[in-house]
């Protein structure tokens, strides 16, 4: 074959994409014509196409040595330099070429690309503008121009550039994708999804298009569609860590935790430094109860990204769950050293400090969290709730709850829709209960006896459960409902839509401002009548919650109000809701076990008397410790048994107790324990001492069930009158003190009369079983009567 025929065939093979054959033919030509610069150039181009950049550069340098003025050789060399990451050299090459010919759109485009890759988006944008001016059809230049403006923080100019590109080529997949992700970043999620869907129609097998649309659908909470797209992405490109990570996110949101865990691990296998995948692997492992794996994942996230504040917070929350308060506190403090204005870190540190009984400092951090981010609804709820442990009067809590409403509820009022429920007063009503603690939790001690005695002929019971790890009690409670909905994956807006679709007549909140509550759901007013009960008997501050359940002991009826019936709807100065007083008790209690049995009074055989309080340390205010100190001084041969987690909580509480003049040799501590062990601890206690200004509620009922009477200090707030309500319902109001001195006197007198205390101990459990506190059917009828009453009021307009 002649040399010219061989070269022609080589060019033909090159154009056809048969690069191996083209290379062989070029080398054959070069063997015959060693000084053929054009063949060297073509071998350089072929090397660029094959990503053998060093070889490509060698061929192009040889070609330029023979033909130094050949512009296209220089241009190709610039492309190779860019491919090698030698952007400064590439920029210099293109600038030299432009000095001779500034009318080449391709040169300006190549210069822009090199400048953009070198980290100079400002100069790159100017180059792309020049390319587009010289060639108005230069769509890629306009697309890249948009990317530069995005890097420069000028999204409006970026959007204009993308739209210019799409005006020329409406199906340009890259420009559609970039415009879609830009709109998504601006919060225009519907418009973003429209553009990203167009991009996918233009390039249906593009992993990038599939990924971006999948991510956008996740943001719009269309997780099933997102998961399908992201699965397809991985089928097309199995080694795509971002696709695996985002598929994990979609599956996680769908509640498919095991599948999500597998995808996070897949992402990490593809990219061991993928900090976000490590972090989310930790989250899903924690939800699965695999705490060791969760801790390892959070630590890996922090190693991969040392300033990863979210990972520090997640690790801290895990340590808090495990009661490792010292470690949790250290992690949150580390997060705040990285970002002192990080609202979530202040909130989480506030939680740990509150757990440890350092209430004032905890409240300070809640306030900082709200100052750093006024929209942090969780921190604001935590602040409002924490104040109830500190406030001896209701005004401070009410004021903060009103601020909560002004900040978080007010913006939602305009979107509320009228309710179209059937206004028949006597019909069967749909009652909805919203809670995250339908599980092995103290709340079940009250929901089980109540739900199990509902009148299903008159009331259709819906439960909206956000339970992280369902258990046997979850299944038991589900059996008491006519309709059980697992709504953990629904946000407040979608849950509100579900409740409206279900036609709920009365919606009852079981958490209020406590952990995992959904106050923003109630702020949307999805039901015509909304009510608060159980979590704590204070105010929510939420204007959309119409009523709160209480009793005449928590909230005494105003004697000046002739209409002050037990179910009075007279407004109360401490609450934004109207108070509905049940005849007997706010609580109906069931210990859900007969074990352990009540034992004999320990003091009958011991050489000392044991006072006890197993309440959370956040209730142990200085006022409380001062009262207890006075009791211990009056009863010399006595000790005090408390519950506190080990570590900082234990040490901090010990210092505060010593400051009150109590000898630490007289104090015993027990850790947080499983319920059976916790109840058995009462076998060591002769007499319970209540907290103030927030009394024990569930803890006091547990104590009474175990035969241990509780001396309470009656306050002005509902939470400070819980002990009184329980004792009155037991016919034991003589244990309720109206002053600190009376509290000390009652406790000292009881400690001195051990035969009476022993007799009281043996009779307490039967007394409870025969009292309104455990009369399940009576309690259910009283609550249902209230439901019917408020429904009639709504029907009457």
Domains by residue range for the chain, with CATH: 3-198 (1.25.40.10), 415-581 (3.40.50.11380), 602-774 (3.40.50.2000)
Tell me the backbone φ, ψ of residue 725, rounded to 5 degrees: -60, -45
Distance, in Å, from the CA atom of 14 to the CA atom of 23, rounded to the nearest integer, reads 8
pLDDT for 729-752, tens place per residue?
Answer: 999 999 999 999 999 999 999 999
For position 3, what pLDDT does the model report? 85
- Average pLDDT of span 335-364: 96
Top-ranked range on mean pLDDT: pick from 43-47, 75-79, 234-238: 234-238
Cis peptide leading into residue 596 (ω within 30°): yes
- Average pLDDT of span 766-778: 98
pTM: 0.88
Long-range contacts of 455-461 (CB under 8 A, 24+ apart): 455/780, 455/781, 455/784, 456/482, 457/428, 458/428, 458/429, 458/784, 458/788, 459/428, 459/429, 459/430, 459/431, 459/784, 459/787, 460/428, 460/429, 460/430, 460/431, 461/431, 461/433
- Average pLDDT of span 309-322: 97
Structure tokens at 784: 């249902």
- Average pLDDT of span 672-680: 94
Confidence of residue 762 (pLDDT cuts 50, 70, 90): very high
For position 563, what pLDDT does the model report? 47
Measured CA distances, 758 to 40, 394, 595, 699 (Å): 105, 37, 19, 20
- Average pLDDT of span 468-490: 95
- Average pLDDT of span 95-108: 91
Distance, in Å, from the CA atom of 774 to the CA atom of 448, rounded to the nearest integer, reads 11
Distance, in Å, from the CA atom of 59 to the CA atom of 46, rounded to the nearest integer, reads 10
Structure tokens at 517: 């509550």
Contact present, 424 and 505 (Cβ < 8 Å) = no
Confidence of residue 429 (pLDDT cuts 50, 70, 90): very high
Confidence of residue 27 (pLDDT cuts 50, 70, 90): confident
pLDDT for 170-214, tens place per residue?
Answer: 999 999 999 999 999 999 999 999 999 999 999 999 999 999 999
Whats the size of the chain, residue-wise? 797
To the nearest 10°, report the CA torsion of 115, 121, 123, 126: 110
Distance, in Å, from the CA atom of 118 to the CA atom of 726, rounded to the nearest integer, reads 73
Confidence of residue 717 (pLDDT cuts 50, 70, 90): very high
Confidence of residue 421 (pLDDT cuts 50, 70, 90): very high
Distance, in Å, from the CA atom of 226 to the CA atom of 218, rounded to the nearest integer, reads 6
How much of the chain, in percent, has pLDDT values that exceed 70?
98
pLDDT for 497-529, tens place per residue?
Answer: 999 999 999 999 999 899 899 999 999 999 999
Nearest to 384 by CA among 370, 41, 375, 178: 370
For position 571, what pLDDT does the model report? 45
For position 564, what pLDDT does the model report? 44
Pairing status of strand 529-532 against strand 547-550: parallel
Contact present, 353 and 317 (Cβ < 8 Å) = no
pLDDT for 369-416, tens place per residue?
Answer: 999 999 999 999 999 999 999 999 999 999 999 999 999 999 999 999
pLDDT for 264-298, tens place per residue?
Answer: 999 999 999 999 999 999 999 999 999 999 999 99
Chain CA centroid to CA 618, Å: 23
Beginning with the edge strand found earlier in the chain, give each strand of the sheet holding 667-670 in spatial order: 667-670, 638-643, 609-613, 687-689, 710-713, 736-737
CB atoms within 10 A of CB 103: 9
For position 574, what pLDDT does the model report? 87
For position 10, what pLDDT does the model report? 86
For position 561, what pLDDT does the model report? 58
Confidence of residue 535 (pLDDT cuts 50, 70, 90): confident
For position 562, what pLDDT does the model report? 45
**How confident is the prediction for the chain on average, in pLDDT?**
94
């Amino acid at each position: 074959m002649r040399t010219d025929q061989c070269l022609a065939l080589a060019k033909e093979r090159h154009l056809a994409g048969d690069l191996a054959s083209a290379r062989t033919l070029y080398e054959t030509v070069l063997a015959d014509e060693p000084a053929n610069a054009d063949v060297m150039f073509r071998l350089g181009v072929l090397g660029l196409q094959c990503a053998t950049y060093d070889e490509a550069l060698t061929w192009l340098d040889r070609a330029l040595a023979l033909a130094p003025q050949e512009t296209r050789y220089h241009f190709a060399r610039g492309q190779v330099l860019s491919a090698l990451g030698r952007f400064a050299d590439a920029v210099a090459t293109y600038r030299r070429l432009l000095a001779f010919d500034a009318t080449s759109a391709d040169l300006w485009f190549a210069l822009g690309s090199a400048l953009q890759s070198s980290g100079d988006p400002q100069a790159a944008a100017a180059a792309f503008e020049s390319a587009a001016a010289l060639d108005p059809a230069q769509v890629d230049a306009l697309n890249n121009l948009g990317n530069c403006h995005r890097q420069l923080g000028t999204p409006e100019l970026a959007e204009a550039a993308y739209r210019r590109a799409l005006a020329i080529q409406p199906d340009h997949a890259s420009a559609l994708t970039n415009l879609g992700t830009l709109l998504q970043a601006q919060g225009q999620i519907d418009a973003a999804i429209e553009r990203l869907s167009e991009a996918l129609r233009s390039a249906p097998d593009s992993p990038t298009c599939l990924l971006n649309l999948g991510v956008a659908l996740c943001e719009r909470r269309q997780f099933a569609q997102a998961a399908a797209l992201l699965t397809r992405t991985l089928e097309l490109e199995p080694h795509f860590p971002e696709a695996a990570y985002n598929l994990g996110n979609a599956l996680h949101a769908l509640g498919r935790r095991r599948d999500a865990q597998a995808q996070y691990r897949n992402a990490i296998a593809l990219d061991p430094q993928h900090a976000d995948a490590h972090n989310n692997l930790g989250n899903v492992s924690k939800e699965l109860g695999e705490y060791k794996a969760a801790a390892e994942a959070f630590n890996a996230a922090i190693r991969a990204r040392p300033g990863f504040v979210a990972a520090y917070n997640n690790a801290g929350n895990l340590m808090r769950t495990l009661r490792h308060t010292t470690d949790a506190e250290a992690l949150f403090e580390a997060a705040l050293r990285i970002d002192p204005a990080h609202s979530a870190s202040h909130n989480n540190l506030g939680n740990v400090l509150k757990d440890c009984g350092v209430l004032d400092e905890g409240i300070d951090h809640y306030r900082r969290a709200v100052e750093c981010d006024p929209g942090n609804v969780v921190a604001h709820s935590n602040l409002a709730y924490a104040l109830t442990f500190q406030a001896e009067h209701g005004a401070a809590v009410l004021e903060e709850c009103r601020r909560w409403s002004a900040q978080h509820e007010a913006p939602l009022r305009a979107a509320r829709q009228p309710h179209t429920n059937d206004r028949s007063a006597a019909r069967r009503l749909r009652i909805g209960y919203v809670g995250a603690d339908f599980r092995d939790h103290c709340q079940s001690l009250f929901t089980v006896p109540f739900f199990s005695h509902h009148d299903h002929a008159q009331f259709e019971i819906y439960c909206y459960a956000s339970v992280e790890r369902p258990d046997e009690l979850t299944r038991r409670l589900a059996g008491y409902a006519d309709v059980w909905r697992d709504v953990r994956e629904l946000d407040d807006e979608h849950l509100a839509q579900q409740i409206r679709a279900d036609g709920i007549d009365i919606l009852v909140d079981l958490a209020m401002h406590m952990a995992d509550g959904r106050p923003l759901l109630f702020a949307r007013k999805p039901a015509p009548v909304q009510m608060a009960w159980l979590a704590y008997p204070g105010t929510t501050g939420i204007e959309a919650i119409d009523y709160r359940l209480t009793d005449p002991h928590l909230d005494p009826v105003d004697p000046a109000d002739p209409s002050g019936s037990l179910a009075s709807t007279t407004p109360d100065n401490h609450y934004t809701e109207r108070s509905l007083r049940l005849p007997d008790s706010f609580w109906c209690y069931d210990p859900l076990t007969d074990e352990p049995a009540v034992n004999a009074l320990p003091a009958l055989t011991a050489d000392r008397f044991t006072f006890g309080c197993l309440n959370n340390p956040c209730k142990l205010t200085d006022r409380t410790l001062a009262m207890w100190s006075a009791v211990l001084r009056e009863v010399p041969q006595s000790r005090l048994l408390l519950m506190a987690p080990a570590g900082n909580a234990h040490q901090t509480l010990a210092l505060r107790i010593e400051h009150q003049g109590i000898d630490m040799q007289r104090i015993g501590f027990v850790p947080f324990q499983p319920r059976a062990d916790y109840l058995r601890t009462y076998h060591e206690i002769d007499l319970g001492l209540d907290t103030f200004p927030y009394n024990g509620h569930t803890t006091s009922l547990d104590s009474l069930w175990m035969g241990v009477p509780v001396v309470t200090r009656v306050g002005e707030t509902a939470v400070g009158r819980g002990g009184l309500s329980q004792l009155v319902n037991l016919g034991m109001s003589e244990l309720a003190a109206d002053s600190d001195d009376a509290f000390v006197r009652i406790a000292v007198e009881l400690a001195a009369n051990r035969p009476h205390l022993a007799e009281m101990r043996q009779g307490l459990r039967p007394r409870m079983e025969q009292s309104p506190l455990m009369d399940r059917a009576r309690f259910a009828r009283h609550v249902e009567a209230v439901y019917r009453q408020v429904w009639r009021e709504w029907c009457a307009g």
